[in-house]
Amino acid sequence: MLFVTTDAGDAPADGRADFDFLAGCWSVAHRRLSERLAGSDHWEDFTGLCESRPIIGGLGNIDDNLLALPTGTYRAATLRTFDPATRRWSIWWIDSRTMRLEPPVLGRFENGVGTFLGDDRLGGRPIRVRFIWSGIAADAARWEQAFSADGGATWETNWTMDFRRSR
């Protein structure tokens, strides 16, 4: 059968099972700064849905997101792949408003917290991007995004997502 996946207990302890917790359907509480790296302290709260499933026999996963912003609803997707040779995950974001595959962040989980870093641009200037996954439980998880304009010396958290399993 094509969509058979291995039991996480059968996976090597190299990090490839780190995102297995995310498989399924989630309700998401989003909190996002209205402006990034601009000294803003105005946060927008909105809801969303996320459905995630493994791909490539468990060496990756993809999720489909529905985000209900105050200005309108849109869709996005996350693609994650695991490289067994480096024991590192690569994560890409695709936003339906631009249909652009964003540059990846790369990293791994240590002591139950996933930290992923990458380079991007904001308003034409180079920035560092950081994703952190934490608070992982059977029915909950937390993701946060932060940007740095000074090469990672300081970080501004600009988006959080609190996941609650819906099924």
Question: 9 lies in a domain?
Answer: no
> Which pLDDT band, with edges at 50, 70 and 90, does 11 fall under?
low
Q: Going along 34-124, which residue ranges are E strands? A: 43-55, 60-69, 72-83, 88-95, 100-101, 105-110, 113-122
Q: For 17-28, what is the mean pLDDT?
A: 97
Instruction: State both tokens at 105.
Output: 């962040």
* Summary mean pLDDT of the chain: 93
Question: 43 lies in a domain?
Answer: yes
> Which pLDDT band, with edges at 50, 70 and 90, does 2 fall under?
very low
CA 114 to chain centre: 10
Instruction: Give me the CATH number covering residue 127.
Output: 2.40.128.20
Full domain range(s) for residue 67: 15-165
Question: How many Cβ atoms are within 10 Å of 131's Cβ, its own excluded?
Answer: 21
Q: How confident is the model over 46-92, as pLDDT tens digits? A: 999 999 999 999 999 999 999 999 899 999 999 999 999 999 999 99
Query: Does the pLDDT of residue 8 top 90, yes or no?
Result: no
Closest by CA position to 25, among listed 136, 134, 147, 167: 167
CA distance 157 to 18: 23
Count of domains observed in the chain? 1
Question: 4 lies in a domain?
Answer: no
What is the pLDDT at residue 137? 96
